[in-house]
Chain A
Amino acid sequence: MVMNDFEVRRKKIKPKKLFLTILKYTVLLIGAFCMVLPFFWMISASLMTPEELISDTPRWLPEVPQWQNYLEVPKRVPILKYYKNSLITAGISTLLVLLTSSLAGYAFAKIKFRGRRQLFRLVLATMMFPVFIFLIPNFYLMKQLGWISNYLSLIVPFAVSGYGIFLIRQFVMSIPDDLIDSARIDGAGELKIYWRIILPIIKPAMATLATLTFISMWNSFLWPLIVTSSFPELMTLPVGVSRLSLSFSSAENQHLIVTGLVYQVVPMVVLFLYLQKNYIKGFMLSGFGDL
């Protein structure tokens, strides 16, 4: 065994292989540099004085880190309110998507009923329609329903996701029929099967769906921009942050824009770092890799 390892290692040190290894890591490093640079610059610039930010020779690091920028932003911008709005809308709509997707996904995968195929095709087809077709009618609908001045307008139109139904269905399909049939023979109702058998098994897929939905809701911009344009009370983080550039356009306030960005970006990156393993595992378990 030891001998084997040694031989393999000796083979690896051929000049061509060494060259390829160096090339590989050089490309990876250049790529990583490009990916990290904007984030590095954002963090660094968030600690600069406004003069440093607009100086003629671009600076990479602040002379003295201006930590007070981080205290100034919440004083000048209702950033905590934006957080609260984003958390409420993204959180509740994610829960609704999980509920509706798992119910429908289970039914489409394991319960036979008339028109199942056609209805599932319809669900897939909905993913093809551009959001722009829905923008105007749904805005009008929200206005007519009187929801435009509250959270409902930001949550309800996102309570169902065709992608979510598709993802859960694919996952439930891989559960053996025997498991469900034997529960049925034991007299368990469909709701009980869903709650006791299906939900525990599809946890990884639900975790993936929750992460994907939460991120996309947290980041969504166009619909909140339209709905909240006359209701600053309801603005979500991306809408609020996009207005920083407008409200702080003057040179002496430039630093607040960048610091505001950090407020928006960093929590998500930290959350992602924490969830990364689940996220990728869920992707693989749901068969997305070899779809």
Chain B
Amino acid sequence: MNRQIKRRGIVGYGFIAPALVFYAIFFGFPVVFSLLASFKRWNMLTPFSEARFVGFKHYIYLFENELFMRALLNTCLYALITVPVTIFLALIFANLIHHSKFPALWRFLYFTPIVTPPVAIGTIWNYLYRPNNGILNQLLGFFGLKPIYWLTDPNTVLFSVMITAVWAGIGSSLLIFSAGIQNIPQAYYDAAEIDGAGPIVQFWKITVPMLRPSILFLTATGMITAWQVFDLPFIMGKNAPSKSIMTISGYVYETAFQSVRMGRASAGAFILFVVIFIVTLFILRAFKKGGINGYE
């Protein structure tokens, strides 16, 4: 029996072997390589071993660089605003849909952006946001409002991209909330009804607390994704001053694949990693305080 268990253990390793080999090559190697590269001056054309070691030069440069600091600030604003707004709106709409007729139809309407490539979303919204012949400014005019220079005004462009991001992101949160709401026992609502609680009280006192695990999960994954945002600002920010819409990812992309400064770009990527690491730890602490111990 004991030998059988031992043999089974070896089979277990065999089952995870493909994943482990993959992680060693496409995860372990890149992390070490990136860290080393962030201390070197390297343009990918010369062999990596011959690249000159420059110490913390790239990190110091980045923290003194105005564009990178703006990218850090923009990304921070983007993450801190889009994630909660998306989750809040998704929560409200998931709740409304659950208590309505034709839930499948509503869900489909709200889910559709999930399957739409961000590149396509950005391009469509570029047209909607056109200052003179876009339909959004036409709608504003219809309500007697002045046109907005959505994507060209440096003070507006980041917020315009955030609106699109919320629009695009609502569906996946809604999906998870919809699944969660269906698991809340109807008895809770019935009891609340007997006690005379209206739908708004029921929402805050039953639905939101019962969905707390999903809310925390979406906050954690949403933050990790939002800090890495690339596609939408890349597609939508071409007509604005680069400072106003630059993100950390955009900065790393441009530094690596346009200026071919691999060392500096790696340093930028590592700073992004540290930021995400801290944010995630922070959220995991909130998980624990909320009574949810990781995923185990």
Contacts and interface: CB of A to CB of B under 8 A. Distances in A.
Chain B binding surface, main DSSP class: helix
Nearest to B238: A245
A152 interface: no
Contacts of A55: 133
A275 B116 CA distance: 15
Contacts of A280: 107, 175, 178-179
Contacts of A34: 167
A166 B228 contact: no
A19 B141 CA distance: 30
Contacts of B270: 133
A276 B108 contact: yes
Given A57-B133, A135-B269, A136-B262, A226 B257 contact: yes
A56 B132 contact: yes
B295 A222 contact: no
A127 B26 CA distance: 13
Given A132-B249, A140-B48, A289-B180, A111 B109 contact: no
Contact of A41 (B135, B217, B228): B135
Interface residues of B, number: 101
Contacts of A138: 26, 30
Interface stretch (B52-60, B62-70, B119-127, B153-161): B119-127
B179 A130 contact: no
Interface string A279-290: 110011000111
A18 to B, nearest CB: 13
A289 B133 contact: no
Task: Using C-beta atoms within 8 Å of the partner chain, give the interface range for chain A.
Answer: 35 or more
Interface string B238-275: 00000000001100110011000010011011101100
Contact of A165 (B19, B107, B277): B19
Contact of B176 (A60, A131, A289): A289
Contact of B265 (A54, A136, A166, A258): A136
B189 interface: no
Given A31-B110, A132-B252, A280-B178, A194 B30 contact: no
Interface string B183-227: 100000000000000110000000000000110010000001001
Contacts of A57: 133, 138
A269 B111 CA distance: 10
Given A222-B231, A273-B108, A283 B176 contact: yes
Interface string B1-38: 00001001111110110111011011101110110010
Given A58-B135, A219-B116, A265-B117, 5 more contacts: A28-B96, A119-B16, A136-B256, A137-B33, A288-B176
Interface of A: 20, 24-25, 27-28, 31-32, 34-39, 41-42, 45, 54-58, 60, 99-100, 103-104, 106-108, 111-114, 116, 119, 122-124, 126-141, 143, 156-157, 159-160, 165-166, 170, 184, 189-191, 194, 215, 218-219, 221-222, 226, 229, 237-238, 241-242, 244-245, 257-258, 261, 264-265, 268-269, 271-273, 276, 279-280, 283-284, 288-291
Contact of A114 (B9, B20, B93, B253): B9
9 pairs of A and B residues whose beta carbons are closest in the complex: A289-B179, A137-B30, A107-B15, A111-B12, A113-B9, A113-B12, A289-B180, A137-B33, A132-B269
26 contacts: A24-B96, A24-B99, A24-B100, A28-B97, A36-B112, A57-B133, A57-B138, A58-B130, A104-B15, A107-B12, A119-B16, A123-B23, A124-B294, A130-B273, A136-B262, A137-B33, A137-B34, A166-B295, A241-B119, A268-B117, A269-B115, A272-B115, A276-B107, A284-B182, A289-B179, A289-B183
